[in-house]
Amino acid sequence: MREPTPSQTVGPFFGYALPFADGGDLVPPGHPGAITMHGVVHDGAGRPIPDALLEFWQADPAGGLDGAPDSMRRDPVTGTFAGRSGVGFTGFGRVATDADGHWTLRTLPPGPAAPGALPYISVCVFARGLLHHLYTRVYLEDGPGDPLLDSLDADRRATLIARPEPHATYRFDVHLQGSEETVFLEFG
Amino acid sequence: MSTTPPAPEPQAVIDAEMAEIRAEAEKARADGGPEELQPRRDYPPYRSSLLRHPKRPLVAAPEAFTELRGPVFGVTDVTDLDGDLTRQHHGEPLGERIVVTGRVLDREGRPVRGQLVEIWQANAAGRYAHKRDQHPAPLDPNFTGTGRCLTDDEGRYTFTSIKPGAYPWRNHLNAWRPAHIHFSLFGTAFTQRLVTQMYFPNDPLFPYDPIFNSITDERARQRLIATYDHDLSSPEWSLGYRWDIVLDGPSATWMEEGR
């Protein structure tokens, strides 16, 4: 086994390099099947983090995990981002937090990635001050039989479940530290 | 009520904290502890980390169908010129022209093919083309400092750029970052995601930088430093650096073969 290249923080200046047009819009505006997911990223003092970057990766509504290119479609004439074509579903989103720590994702609800599994969106969190990114999951609803959720006590479990709001909208806050600290995951 | 911000701490305070953590880490390793392959998320000398790391242990995900796959990118996501940061404007940027190349591999040494590599960096004077960077060094109208490419069938990436300058920051008094290029990488699985920084050999700022030293293991820190490679230098044109990258984390193929 080769030893891995270590991580370093994304720092404060990723904003002109990593975010891209339509990064948080996996579907075109007004798509009839779209859901809106949004929330705030907080630090250990409960303050919003204005320089965090969230990435999202998810199954399509049928549970498919093949993804598709086109997330960062480029205009070959101007060299700028052209925005997604809106035809395929790439399954990938990238959103920087606003000055108030808030982020918004418009996407399709993920299907179960395995038969009977609870659907979720995988989230990867980057921020200035965070030396190694963190993974978590947004479950659109709670339910029985998920091995990760079932391994957690009620308070911790609740940090992974999005809160439904009107108009197909879900709220999901991330707490990097503190009494409401989000459950972060490791994979081995 | 107004509060006066605390006076910035001198470098010696940060140095003492870094030395203490390193000595404790070396002792733990000598006592048979695991090698620390990644930076510590809780690394107080990097003051911004204090409130931005979880205090509870990470939870091992019992299964990970979604995370063992990942986003895919293709020819529509990258233009041919995106890998040359010296050709994004009408004129030539100021600075030392460099080529940085290497291979992206998984932990089993297999090339990561056709995946996206993104970079961003300061200009030769140590200034980012970012509104929040108000360090009094000149912006270069011919340099933005962002690039991207797809790895080839051998996992190889190549960028042409200029060598970034060191720059000051406000972690403590007289804090300077060693010259570096930020890298963002994808593997075949979302678990292999990596954002890191590539450094240049023999930088005199290494011992003073808490971000670099958040990796307590000397050998692990060395993995972030590119190698000057004279064979990659072009006569009367550019200097060459080689930096291979190994992505951490399991992938779907690895898990399948391991079962």
What percent of chain A shows pLDDT beyond 90? 93
* Chain A environment of B41 (Cβ under 8 Å): 130-132, 134
Instruction: Output the 3-class SS for chain B.
Output: CCCCCCCCCCHHHHHHHHHHHHHHHHHHHHCCCCCCCCCCCCCCCCHHHCCCCCCCCCEECCCCCCCCCCCCCCHHHCCHHHHECCCCCCCCCCCCEEEEEEEEECCCCCECCCCEEEEEECCCCCCCCCCCCCCCCCCCCCCCCEEEEECCCCCEEEEEEECCCCEEECCCCCEEECCEEEEEECCCCHHHCEEEEEECCCCCCHHHCCCHHHCCCHHHHHCCECEECHHHCECCCEEEEECCEECCCCCHHHHHHHC
pLDDT for res A7: 98
What are the pLDDT digits (tens) for B155-168? 999 999 999 999 99
pLDDT for res B194: 98
pLDDT band at B6 (very low <50, low <70, confident <90, very high): confident
Task: Report the predicted TM-score, pTM, of the whole model to 2 decimal places.
Answer: 0.97
More confident: B79 or B133: B79
**Cβ-nearest to A122 among B66, B74, B77:** B66
What are the pLDDT digits (tens) for B174-212? 999 999 999 999 999 999 999 999 999 999 999 999 999
Span B34-52, mean pLDDT? Answer: 97
Instruction: Tell me which of B97, B103, B172, B177 is the catalytic residue.
Output: B177
* Residue B1 pLDDT > 80: no
Q: Is B157 noted as a catalytic residue in this protein?
A: no
Is residue A41 classed as helix, strand or coil in its secondary structure? strand
Residue ranges of chain A with per-residue pLDDT less than 50? none
Q: Is B182 noted as a catalytic residue in this protein?
A: yes
